[in-house]
């Protein structure tokens, strides 16, 4: 976009950043003073380096050349196949590459090609050379291909040692704070989760709803998730290598060869000879997947092909969908109240499908609020509206407030009264959602329905009535309808009660509100609540 942060300094009160802006052939320098800076400037993050944050984990797992190209003809060819794919792993005697199909209709692709510097240089991969590589990948010499860009990049598996600078004013997010192998989409998904977690906390602090202690929970909550996703992406990347390994193309062997050439002895060879030796050895390796070697008359080839088929059939290769990790991750500590003890009967575990775990909805503190179809009935109840939405829509997109979900019974009314009273004493915004069964009054006694409406009528500006569009909300949550679920602005559960409200209900809610907004914490606040 033409802007670059060239220097950054922070103290306990704010940040001073110098921005260089492109103005045609000249550049204009602008100094900015701000309360906070969120550095989401990519895997190479210059800002991360400026503030002295280091990365921990495995560096330089692999170097690659990325070729962005268009071929409408190739897109149409692939669309004509029975099952067009998104990823194509190509192993042939001329080249090894992974081709990502970004848009088959438009014919937009990116090819990832293993890269071994210094024997290979970026300058060697001209547009013409890459054009020929693409033709070898496809196996069609007259294919129409337009190469757009050629770049080099390095694969890492790392997480930053800190998520903020020492003054807690410069905050890293996305690839700037974690770098994964591109195996499973964890880079983008984890980055979006970072932003989701950070946005409301930053807003709450800037607007004066909470102290800066709330921002400290960003690293507390997100770092364990980033580390877990790092390990999972590495495992998935290694699983993807199982297929070429079965065919005799051991990636570890390529690394050993490259390291040998880069050793003291190997470096004694002239540069051209180093490159020739490297390519010669790789050519021998690629010959393992030639049609001559993989013929039906070669017993070694038959064993290798059989092993490859077994790996694919049993789902032991690359996995692309991770519903449990993408949706079912849970914060164990931070801006939430952990439960004193989780009942084993309520600690459900998803059944694995191969290596994949299915997403299992949960309302345990730290988990994401489950989706469930509902019909909103605002202050007038019941209304004529029949529009179905999601429980996730109960969380405001623009307000920094909490949502308390309770049942349509006397217990729900007691929770409502306690929540409104506690919120008022702490100047916290809270909206109470009373969850009604499908059919509203047809499922309840008229007197009980009127009793609930009458008791909450005094708080109608803070109460929302929601009707379940189907049966099973409380069963999905693992919470009885006399309990309560407190939801943060990022749709994660901050606290819940599995019990009937009692004399201490207001105290429980007071502590939960204070834990989410640390500035409001009382001296008697604790980390656990029944």
Least confident piece of the model among 32-36, 253-257, 437-441: 253-257
Predicted confidence at residue 386, as pLDDT, reads 67
Read off the pLDDT band of 444 (50, 70, 90): low
Judged against a pLDDT cut of 50, whether residue 239 lies above it is answered with: yes
Residues with Cβ within 8 Å of 247's Cβ and at least 6 positions away in sequence, in order, are 91, 288, 289, 304, 305, 308
Predicted confidence at residue 485, as pLDDT, reads 98
What is the percent of the chain where pLDDT is above 70? 87
What is the DSSP code string of 247-309? TT--HHHHHHHHHHHTSTTGGGS-HHHHHHHHHHHHHHHHGGGSTTTTSTT-HHHHHHHHHHH
Mean pLDDT of the chain: 86
CB 151 within 8 A of CB 65: yes
- d(CA 486, CA 422) in angstroms, rounded, equals 13
Half-sphere exposure of 492 toward its Cβ, with a 13 Å CA cutoff?
A: 27
Q: Report which of 453, 478, 230 is spatially closest to residue 365, judged by C-alpha positions.
A: 478
b/e map 181-190, b = 16+ CB within 10 Å: bbbbebbebb
Judged against a pLDDT cut of 80, whether residue 522 lies above it is answered with: no
Predicted confidence at residue 230, as pLDDT, reads 93
- d(CA 22, CA 3) in angstroms, rounded, equals 6
Tokens 């032991």 locate to 316
Q: Which tens digits make up the pLDDT trace of 489-518? A: 999 999 999 999 998 888 999 999 999 998
Taking residues 62-73, what's their average pLDDT?
Answer: 96
Query: Given the DSSP bridges, would you call strands 146-160 and 178-179 parallel, antiparallel or unpaired?
Result: antiparallel
Read off the pLDDT band of 442 (50, 70, 90): very low
> Domain 3-54+161-240 classified CATH 3.40.50.10240?
no
Q: Which tens digits make up the pLDDT trace of 179-229? A: 999 888 889 999 999 999 999 999 999 999 999 999 999 999 999 999 999
Predicted confidence at residue 109, as pLDDT, reads 98
125 class by beta-carbon count within 10 Å (0-12 exposed, 13-18 middle, 19+ buried): buried
- Residue 510 corresponds to which tokens in the numbers above? 């007071």
Cα separations (Å) of 294 from 249, 276, 291, 305, 362? 13, 26, 5, 8, 49
Read off the pLDDT band of 350 (50, 70, 90): very low
Read off the pLDDT band of 355 (50, 70, 90): low
Predicted confidence at residue 346, as pLDDT, reads 44
Predicted confidence at residue 268, as pLDDT, reads 67
Provide the CATH number for the domain formed by 352-520 in this structure. Answer: 3.40.30.120
Domain spans of the chain, in order of start: 3-54+161-240, 56-160, 352-520
Judged against a pLDDT cut of 70, whether residue 385 lies above it is answered with: no
How open is the CA angle 135-136-137, to the nearest 5 degrees?
90
Q: Which helix (H) or strand (E) holds 467?
A: strand 463-468
Read off the pLDDT band of 163 (50, 70, 90): very high
Least confident piece of the model among 129-133, 427-431, 492-496: 427-431
Predicted confidence at residue 275, as pLDDT, reads 72
- Residue 105 corresponds to which tokens in the numbers above? 């209709």
CB 522 within 8 A of CB 514: yes
How open is the CA angle 58-286-316, to the nearest 5 degrees?
55
- The DSSP letter of residue 489 is T
Judged against a pLDDT cut of 70, whether residue 530 lies above it is answered with: no
Taking residues 40-58, what's their average pLDDT?
Answer: 96
Query: Given the DSSP bridges, would you call strands 170-172 and 373-377 parallel, antiparallel or unpaired?
Result: unpaired
Taking residues 273-294, what's their average pLDDT?
Answer: 70
Domain 56-160, CATH homologous superfamily name and number = D-Amino Acid Oxidase, subunit A, domain 2 (3.30.9.10)
- d(CA 41, CA 351) in angstroms, rounded, equals 38
Residues with Cβ within 8 Å of 172's Cβ and at least 6 positions away in sequence, in order, are 38, 39, 40, 45, 47, 48, 53, 160, 163, 164
Read off the pLDDT band of 456 (50, 70, 90): confident
Predicted confidence at residue 462, as pLDDT, reads 87
Q: Residue 493 pairs with which residues in a beta bridge?
A: 487
- Residue 17 corresponds to which tokens in the numbers above? 């950043």
Cis ω before 118 (30° cut-off from 0): yes
Predicted confidence at residue 340, as pLDDT, reads 75
- d(CA 127, CA 147) in angstroms, rounded, equals 6
- Residue 173 corresponds to which tokens in the numbers above? 């997010």
- Helices 410-426 and 446-456 sit at what angle, rounded to 10 degrees? 10
Length of the chain: 530
Sheet holding 3-10, edge to edge: 3-10, 15-23, 26-34
Residue, of 249 and 373, whose pLDDT is higher: 373
Least confident piece of the model among 44-58, 75-89, 304-318, 325-339: 304-318
Predicted confidence at residue 443, as pLDDT, reads 53
Residue, of 146 and 454, whose pLDDT is higher: 146
Helix (H, G, I), strand (E, B) or coil at 90: strand
- d(CA 9, CA 26) in angstroms, rounded, equals 25
Taking residues 145-166, what's their average pLDDT?
Answer: 96
In this prediction the pTM is 0.85
Cα separations (Å) of 126 from 27, 150, 257, 357? 30, 8, 25, 43
Q: Report which of 87, 90, 103 is spatially closest to residue 134, judged by C-alpha positions.
A: 90
b/e map 222-257, b = 16+ CB within 10 Å: bbbbbeebbebbbebbebbbbbbbbbbbebeebeeb
């Amino acid at each position: 976009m033409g802007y670059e942060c060239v220097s950054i300094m922070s103290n306990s009160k704010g940040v001073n950043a110098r921005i260089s802006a492109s103005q045609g052939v000249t550049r204009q320098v602008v100094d900015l003073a701000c309360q906070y800076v969120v550095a989401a400037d990519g895997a190479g993050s210059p800002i991360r380096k400026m503030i002295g944050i280091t990365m921990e984990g495995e560096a330089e797992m692999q170097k690659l050349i990325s070729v962005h190209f268009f071929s409408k003809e190739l897109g149409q060819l692939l669309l004509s196949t029975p099952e067009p794919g998104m990823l194509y792993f190509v192993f042939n005697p001329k080249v090894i590459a992974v081709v990502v199909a970004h848009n088959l209709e438009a014919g937009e692709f990116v090819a990832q090609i293993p890269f071994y510097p210094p024997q290979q240089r970026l300058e060697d991969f001209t547009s013409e050379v890459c054009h020929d590589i693409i033709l070898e990948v496809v196996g069609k010499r007259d294919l129409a291909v337009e190469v757009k860009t050629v770049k080099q990049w390095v694969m890492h598996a790392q997480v930053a040692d800190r998520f903020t600078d020492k003054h807690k004013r410069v905050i890293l997010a996305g690839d700037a704070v974690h770098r994964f192998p591109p195996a499973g989409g964890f880079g983008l998904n984890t980055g979006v989760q970072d932003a989701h977690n950070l946005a409301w906390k930053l807003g709450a602090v800037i607007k004066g709803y909470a102290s800066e202690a709330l921002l400290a929970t960003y690293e507390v909550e997100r770092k364990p998730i980033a580390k877990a996703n790092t390990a999972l992406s590495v495992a998935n990347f290694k699983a993807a290598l199982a297929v070429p390994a079965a065919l005799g193309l051991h990636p570890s062997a390529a690394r050993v060869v490259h390291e040998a050439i880069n050793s003291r002895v190997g470096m004694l060879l002239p540069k051209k000879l180093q490159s020739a030796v490297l390519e010669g050895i790789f050519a021998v390796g690629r010959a393992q997947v030639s049609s001559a070697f993989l013929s039906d008359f070669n017993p070694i080839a038959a064993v290798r092909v059989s092993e490859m088929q077994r790996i694919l059939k049993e789902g032991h290769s690359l996995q692309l969908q991770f519903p449990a990790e993408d949706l079912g991750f849970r914060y164990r500590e931070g801006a939430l109240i952990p439960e004193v003890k989780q009942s084993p009967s309520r600690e459900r575990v998803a059944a694995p499908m191969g290596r994949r775990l299915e997403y299992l909805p949960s309302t345990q503190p730290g988990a994401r609020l489950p989706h469930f179809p509902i019909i909103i009935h605002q202050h007038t109840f019941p209304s004529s509206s029949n529009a179905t939405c999601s429980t996730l829509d109960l969380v405001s997109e623009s307000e920094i407030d909490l949502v308390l979900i309770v049942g349509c019974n006397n217990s729900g009314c007691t929770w409502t009264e306690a929540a409104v009273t506690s919120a008022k004493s702490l100047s916290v915004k809270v909206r109470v959602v009373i969850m009604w069964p499908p059919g509203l009054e047809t499922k309840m006694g008229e007197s009980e329905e009127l009793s609930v409406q009458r008791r909450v009528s005094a708080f109608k500006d803070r109460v929302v009535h929601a009707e379940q569009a189907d049966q099973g909300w409380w069963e999905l949550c693992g919470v009885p309808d006399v309990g309560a679920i407190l939801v943060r602005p990022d749709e994660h559960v901050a606290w819940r009660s599995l019990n009937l409200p009692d004399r201490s209900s207001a105290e429980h809610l007071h502590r939960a509100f204070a834990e989410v907004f640390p500035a409001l914490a009382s001296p008697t606040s604790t980390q656990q609540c029944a």
